[in-house]
Amino acid sequence: MKPLEKLLKKPGSHLPVRPAAPPGQVPGPGSVPAPRRQSLSRPPASPEEPAGPAGPVPGGEGRWLELRPPEAPLRSPEDPSPGCDRDRDRDRDRDREPPSPEPPPAARCCCGCGCAPAAPAPPERLLAALLDRLPAAAHGRGCGAESLLDDIVLTHSLFLPTERFLQQLHQHFVLAAGSPPARWEEGSGLRRKRAVLAVLLHFLETYKGLLQEEESAGKVIKELYLLIMKDTSLYHELEDEILKLHQLVETVELKVADETPPPNKQVKPLFRHFRRIDSCLQTRVAFRGSDEIFCRVYMPDHSYVTIRSRLSASVQDILASVTEKLQYSEEQSTRGDALILVTMASSGEKAVLQPSEECVFTTLGINSHLFACTRDTFDSLVPLPEEIQVVPGDTEIHRAEPEDVANHLTAFHWELFRCIHELEFVDYVFHGERGRRETANLELLLQRCSEVQHWVGTELLLCEGLGKRAHLLKKLIKIAAICKQNQDMLSFYAIVIGLNNAAVSRLRLTWEKLPGKFKNLFRKFENLTDPCRNHKTYREVLAKMKPPLIPFVPLILKDLTFLHEGSKTLLDGLVNVEKLHCIAEKVRTVRKYRSRPLCLELEASPAQLQTKAYVRQLRVIDNQNLLFELSYKLEPGSQ
């Protein structure tokens, strides 16, 4: 299990359960009842309502657990006040009766104005309900409609494929432009067309480059765009929106199935391929499934072929390219000597990829590689020699200043974070419901997070001198502090997790030589990254930060997974609108984190470029067994 997965699955602390006293036992005179934790089944009292009893009344029957306040104050059986028998009998009779249902509080939309929010509806009706709300409400453009529009555009793929969503939008416009139904009021057709235009504009602004991968969706958008441009009734009041639509359609570069791809398309270098300095110094750009990359596929004798392939290529396509490079005859393929594609980790773990699998390049581990072999030679595969050889020595981190390393970490991770399309978070978690788009940019950032964790342990365990190792430990804690100051919580979290690696934390002599100031600082960092109470401390610190900032992305995916598994998207054929809103809210937090540009003053001196190249091409050991071997060689007797 990867360290990142261990962190997210680490159990939090739980409150001890206080054993109940036996029936009839009375607490001693000197005993003080422990304060009772607020029940999760009882909602807190609203400011307009008086608070209920502060605690349980002796002799009561647990009325404080009910969802409604008691009709009268609870009385103790030992109360000697007059009329207590009559009141007790009346209370007992009332307890035997079924509780009268209270009317639910008036539902409110997200803007808090008191109008009704969007109700659960079938997938085919939800878009119509949105179009009805957009132009017709009294509160500007539509009370709560802006939030509902964003919710549906971000999450519609959970209950309706993108192509079908756009087809429905197209049908609504055609219906409004032709002969509208008799039940529509006068002017409803024009309002419906305006609403369709508003949805299409927001859709294009949100999806942007992702539409290049949606061939069928691009065709529907172009058809709808031509209909809108020919409709003269929209030009009078919506000239700005029409112009904006024209600009968006041109900049999105819609891909249509019958169009030929542009020639001489640039081949992008993948994350860790070839370790070329000129490639790693370039500003990172977003990957798309249609992008072409170079990749090495190794043979059992560790020779390799370099192929040019689409990022979203299937295993079958990759093997076809390898076969062509090797001039593998069709006779060999049909003889049972057909090639299979295998992923090989530095630890020796290997797995056979199925021919239908796609997007395998970005799902590889840090030091994993692709091997092509026959089934007869599968058992003989071993990792590449350079992945298991360890050469202790000084690296760039011993020469660079902590501020420079931390700033270059933040700058590089900001580039990777900016490359992630906000919809990749939804597709990564919910891919099982309606198919999966390519989430290459998100997967590369997660790989980078794991890489930084192993980099911390690698640098420390390759440092043989005790004093030098303690100085490096101090420098790494200082780098984590600067990353936190830069609001780069991804780097901060990864460094702290790396220092908590069992192979590093067991180095007792090294930690003892750490100055007390840095020991206390690291304890604070451990408290900040403590997963107890659902990462409460980290969430409080993050809530106080203002953009730009880089969050700990794995925790966002954990929250989305909780929303996904905690409730159904469709129930009795109706869309769970509340679930869609919660998912969209989480995605909007990512949008907020990136709402401002990151400004770091980085020099362009040769020394700074060397540090930049080092940070962007880290050499790490991701084999935990090998890290433990290095740790025991450095300090055999440490516990």
Give the Å distances, CA to CA, from 171 to 79, 218, 350.
Answer: 72, 16, 50
pLDDT of residue 28: 44
Q: What is the pLDDT of residues 204-235, one digit of tens each?
A: 999 887 877 777 788 888 899 888 888 876 76
The H or E element spanning position 319 is helix 315-326
- Rounded to an integer, what distance in angstroms lies between the CA atom of residue 560 and that of residue 551? 14
pLDDT of residue 186: 61
Q: Which residues of 254-266 are buried (b: 16+ CB within 10 A; e: fewer)?
A: bbeeeeeeeeeee
The H or E element spanning position 305 is strand 304-310
Q: What is the pLDDT of residues 268-300, one digit of tens each?
A: 655 444 444 456 677 888 888 778 888 889 999
In the predicted model, residues of the chain with pLDDT beneath 70 are 1-118, 135-143, 179-187, 233, 235-237, 253-280, 328-336, 387-390, 432-437, 638-639
Tokens of 319: 């093997």
Residue partners of 144: CB distance under 8 A and separation at least 6? 109, 110, 111, 113, 115, 117, 118, 133, 137
CB count within 10 Å of CB 152 equals 25
Length of the chain counted residue by residue: 639
AA letter at 338: A
The H or E element spanning position 308 is strand 304-310
pLDDT of residue 180: 65
CATH number of 277-380: 3.10.20.90
pLDDT of residue 114: 44
**Residue 287 near residue 419, CB atoms below 8 Å:** yes
Q: What is the pLDDT of residues 473-504, one digit of tens each?
A: 999 999 999 999 999 999 999 999 999 999 99
- Rounded to an integer, what distance in angstroms lies between the CA atom of residue 583 and that of residue 151? 8
CATH number of 396-550+598-634: 1.10.840.10
**Residue 13 near residue 531, CB atoms below 8 Å:** no
- What SS3 string covers 378-418? HHHCCCCHHHHCCCCCCCHHHHCCHHHHHHHHHHHHHHHHH
DSSP 363: G
pLDDT of residue 539: 97
**Residue 192 near residue 176, CB atoms below 8 Å:** yes
3-state secondary structure of 349: coil
pLDDT of residue 73: 44
Q: Same CATH topology for 3-251 and 277-380?
A: no
The H or E element spanning position 469 is helix 466-485
**Residue 287 near residue 297, CB atoms below 8 Å:** no
Can you count the helices (H) and strands (E) in the chain?
Answer: 26, 8
Tokens of 266: 């640039």
Give the Å distances, CA to CA, from 500 to 2, 413, 529, 617, 620.
Answer: 13, 21, 11, 23, 16
Backbone angles phi, psi at 29, to 5 degrees: -65, -25
pTM, rounded to two decimals: 0.78
**Residue 361 near residue 270, CB atoms below 8 Å:** yes
* Omega of the bond leading into 548 within 30 degrees of 0 (cis): yes
- Rounded to an integer, what distance in angstroms lies between the CA atom of residue 180 and that of residue 186? 10
3-state secondary structure of 280: helix
* 417, HSE (Cβ side, Cα atoms, 13 Å): 28
Percent of the chain that is helix, strand, coil (3-state, to 5): 50, 5, 40
pLDDT of residue 141: 44
Burial level of 29, CB count in 10 A (0-12/13-18/19+)? exposed
pLDDT of residue 235: 66
The H or E element spanning position 510 is helix 508-512
Residue partners of 592: CB distance under 8 A and separation at least 6? 547
**Residue 381 near residue 307, CB atoms below 8 Å:** no
**Tokens 């419906």 -> residue:** 192
Burial level of 133, CB count in 10 A (0-12/13-18/19+)? buried
CATH topology classification for 3-251:
Son of sevenless (SoS) protein; Chain S, domain 1 (1.20.870)
Give the residue extent of every domain in the chain: 3-251, 277-380, 396-550+598-634
